[in-house]
Structure 1
């Protein structure tokens, strides 16, 4: 009998109704104790495991659950805690763990950035002067828990040493080999303790190998895994990659491990397999179901691919699994009651993807006839979805006729900025915020009442207007130079537009984790995108009517809307991006017609979408820059276009940032301790820029001197005339008192820095 196994790489942490999020925030707000937090999250974790067992998954991941972030968990495992948190050794306690992620009064949070090309954010490990030791074998704890409480002989999940170190900061390249040698015995200890407890399979996640790695890193990897196999021979190691094909395919598949996990959804792993084959003594863990999108798999096509893969391995040396952890998709579609039934039939969230894995495994083992009914149902539902795809001939014609000139503003920046300076007459180092203001419990509950029909449209609009007016007054009292309306009418910066543009649909419970307890609900794109009527004009005009200061119109850019949506593959992604850009172009024109002359078009996901394969970079960056320029091309010369980006390695996309031709960009720099400024030291940037001067993801209130230090660091490279002072991201998640206090400090710091610069200029 065939022993092909089904497997999962990771499961969403948040719970079907975001119970995880609520538990975390209740603890942070002091409403539940640490003991209650652990009790609630234990329940969620065990329920996740039960569901996977009930689905019939053979290799169930254990240890993938986290209280905040799996990279931070790895740091805590080895006692990697920055000195500013006064850690004295031993197991990292819960308060210290959250302090690293969120900051405390006397210590800023660690840097946060995107997990490869996803919208998930991880906490960057700081290895400065670190003395790693195994302070807690989390993998062992979770393995024993699953075995003892649920009878599950789980597959332990560990973030691999090479990926962990490559994602870390605080060391020189020349120190890499030494760090590898330091961490290797600690990993060996984890594996030995797992083996002693009876573990047979361990998944070591090494997604860094889906990027372009160096020969030195590859050599270190060979050495590490030779040590693992030698020191822990009784355990089956899965070297797990995902998100793209692996670089150095031949070297990777010949590493001394039991199994190699490859992504057969993203990239061209199948072609590599056909070209170079696969070692006969290894298990191939084939990621065949898309772990990052929500459209159901074409089971017939997937089974055909698996049958091809099967030709390259022995009968008992194949594992069927998702392409990546299911962390990146919602939990279950069974809660969706309002969505079009045809669209619902075409969806597959985490639980449904597990079903697909089990069906494909059975079909591969027992033959297609064993799953004929499942294949037929999937095919029918996919055909129904395809038949309802909302095509728009005019939009497709508009896209086909686009030229390079259609994405160019009428005047170059050097001439535009003169007109803008004359119009706005802003002071040196002008202050602004990024867009959203606190979405208090009252704001969220009122929106919920409105959606449920418990209050009228008029009552809801009045509530939103009252909040806008109050915050315009607050911003004026704080003496901020360029104001925002606060986005109180918006649930999310992408979902909001998904509800308004043609070609989109939205879910009720399609939540995924972005960072910490922050969850987002990506909309679904399954049609050609177009604009019907103004979306943001009413609230922007209302806000502007209460102040003489400029109020920014707030839009989400085409690249971010695309990257933060679940896109059906009927139309090429870059065509969809252009469609969104044309829709936004009409919205900008509508804002201008109503007197809004500063428009921010946010692109926080631009860097995130950069392909892991460097060979694909140019195409993506050119398409992204074109789409942004297309959205803003018809703006009048004295309309100032802003954009915002956050938590990314910007040196990779500097040329693209410049090519956006935005008048003002704002970029996160507070958590990276000003390190981002070095990008602008090495490159000439002539437009205006705000490097976020304080971290909005932390509840702590920065000091005036702390913000001034960030300003001074930036002014060493960026001329004062080009520099704006702003927080590093939107303030939606912060409490009102925190927000007002932090903005007050920011404005004071900007004024003091402004006075210093004026004094210098007058010398």
Structure 2
């Protein structure tokens, strides 16, 4: 019988200090060659162990074998030159030096499949693997070849579908696509963003998820959030489109954001991976704070479709803080799970007559 309110993390966990620089995005590896391969596998084992120990039900790799959630995938594709770099505006928020698309993009061999197969060997629980979404990929590159965001997105969608099918064959239960760009480029989301995402998931039997957040807890993102006003209604643009899509699960940021909880109603019928852990703060949530977030969400999503989760990846946090947050997530979910179970149990009791 499936677990009610199964807990999950969105993506990254902090890497151990012997593998990469702590609390740093895009940190270079501290190991090389065979030692790096072994170190990545050890870090992945550790991530699985900690998730199980902290009560997480859907196990992820914690992105231990990759430097970045987008560029590590792109590094393995042909047609992209990492030596030719240009400065672009990432999600209309901050400038970054990015590689250049110089020719037709293609995937000559699997990127994450061996790592996913290794993850599958570490646990008998459901496993989830995250891939970058097509729109977020094109927003992390300079395109000198296609000169069309839409055309390049369709190319990436086909490549992602190839990878996703092989991840499914490796035993992955949930394949997640990270699309923070959906919170910025609303017209493109409507015109072709959701369509390219559906192309990336075409033919899959594994559950599919899309993660849309407001970004890591880094200064560029927190500064942007400060400009969004008292209500963040970006999801109002994408949720109705996703509700009509073939995507199974929608993952969103919730705790300590200004997203009105009632926007979840717009994806009624979909599973909701709800961010109940703030990744932009070192403050540890209490189980009761997590439980309150989940109770509020249950006004707009059925209990059998709610997946308590984190707002975003936790790579920039310290390991100790991140792991304590996992414990808080599972403890808060356990509180609400018991309440829901009690409610269901009481509702199923026969009504006794007084004859």
Q: Give the TM-score of the pair, scaled to structure 1.
A: 0.40
Residues in 2 aligned to 1:691 and 1:722: alpha-carbon distance in whole angstroms: 10
- Of residues 664, 678, 685, the one that matches 2:262 is 678
Verify: 1:694 aligned to 2:277, yes or no.
yes
Verify: 1:479 aligned to 2:64, yes or no.
no
Three-state SS of the structure 2 residue aligned to 1:624 is: helix
Residues in 2 aligned to 1:620 and 1:757: alpha-carbon distance in whole angstroms: 36
Residues in 1 aligned to 2:332 and 2:276: alpha-carbon distance in whole angstroms: 10
| Greater RCO structure (CA 8 Å; 6+ sep) | 2
Residue deviations 1:163-197 (CA, integer Å, cap 9, x gap): xxxxxxxxxxxxxxxxxxxxxxxxxxxxxxxxxxx
- Of residues 588, 602, 617, the one that matches 2:164 is 588
- Of residues 112, 130, 155, the one that matches 1:554 is 130
- Of residues 180, 193, 199, the one that matches 1:604 is 180
Residues in 2 aligned to 1:641 and 1:542: alpha-carbon distance in whole angstroms: 20
Three-state SS of the structure 2 residue aligned to 1:712 is: helix
Q: Within 5 Å, give how 1:508-657 maps onto structure 2.
A: 522-568=98-144, 570-610=146-186, 617=187, 620-636=189-205, 639-647=206-214, 649-657=234-242
Residues in 2 aligned to 1:662 and 1:715: alpha-carbon distance in whole angstroms: 21
Verify: 1:750 aligned to 2:333, yes or no.
yes
Residues in 2 aligned to 1:677 and 1:571: alpha-carbon distance in whole angstroms: 38
Residues in 2 aligned to 1:508 and 1:733: alpha-carbon distance in whole angstroms: 27
Residues in 2 aligned to 1:545 and 1:691: alpha-carbon distance in whole angstroms: 27
Contact 1:495 1:506 in 2 (8 A): no
Residues in 2 aligned to 1:706 and 1:676: alpha-carbon distance in whole angstroms: 17
Residue deviations 1:638-664 (CA, integer Å, cap 9, x gap): x11122000261112222222442111
Q: Within 5 Å, give how 1:272-351 maps onto structure 2.
A: none
Provide runs of 4+ in structure 1 moved above 6 Å. Answer: 508-515
Residue deviations 1:499-527 (CA, integer Å, cap 9, x gap): 11122122598788979xx9865332232
Q: Give the TM-score of the pair, scaled to structure 2.
A: 0.84
Residues in 1 aligned to 2:95 and 2:339: alpha-carbon distance in whole angstroms: 41
Three-state SS of the structure 1 residue aligned to 2:102 is: strand
Contact 1:667 1:692 in 2 (8 A): yes
Q: Which runs of 5+ in 2 are unaligned?
A: 22-26, 215-231, 347-355
Residue deviations 1:414-473 (CA, integer Å, cap 9, x gap): xxxxxxxxxxx43111100001110344332594445xxxx32x2111000001111111
The equivalent residue for 1:663 is 248
Tell me: CA distance 1:738–1:512, structure 2 relative to 1, closer, same or farther (3 Å).
farther
Residues in 2 aligned to 1:598 and 1:470: alpha-carbon distance in whole angstroms: 21
Three-state SS of the structure 2 residue aligned to 1:443 is: coil
Tell me: CA distance 1:506–1:656, structure 2 relative to 1, closer, same or farther (3 Å).
farther
Verify: 1:730 aligned to 2:313, yes or no.
yes
Tell me: CA distance 1:492–1:597, structure 2 relative to 1, closer, same or farther (3 Å).
same
Tell me: CA distance 1:585–1:727, structure 2 relative to 1, closer, same or farther (3 Å).
same
Query: What is the CA distance between 1:571 and its match in structure 2?
Result: 3.6
Contact 1:622 1:656 in 2 (8 A): no
The equivalent residue for 1:466 is 42
Residues in 2 aligned to 1:720 and 1:620: alpha-carbon distance in whole angstroms: 29
Residues in 1 aligned to 2:96 and 2:307: alpha-carbon distance in whole angstroms: 29
Tell me: CA distance 1:698–1:548, structure 2 relative to 1, closer, same or farther (3 Å).
same
Residue deviations 1:347-398 (CA, integer Å, cap 9, x gap): xxxxxxxxxxxxxxxxxxxxxxxxxxxxxxxxxxxxxxxxxxxxxxxxxxxx
Residues in 1 aligned to 2:142 and 2:78: alpha-carbon distance in whole angstroms: 15
Whose helix proportion is higher, 1 or 2?
1
Contact 2:116 2:170 in 1 (8 A): no
Tell me: CA distance 1:570–1:549, structure 2 relative to 1, closer, same or farther (3 Å).
closer
Q: Which runs of 5+ in 1 are unaligned?
A: 1-424, 611-616
Verify: 1:506 aligned to 2:91, yes or no.
no
Contact 1:494 1:523 in 2 (8 A): no
Contact 1:693 1:707 in 2 (8 A): yes
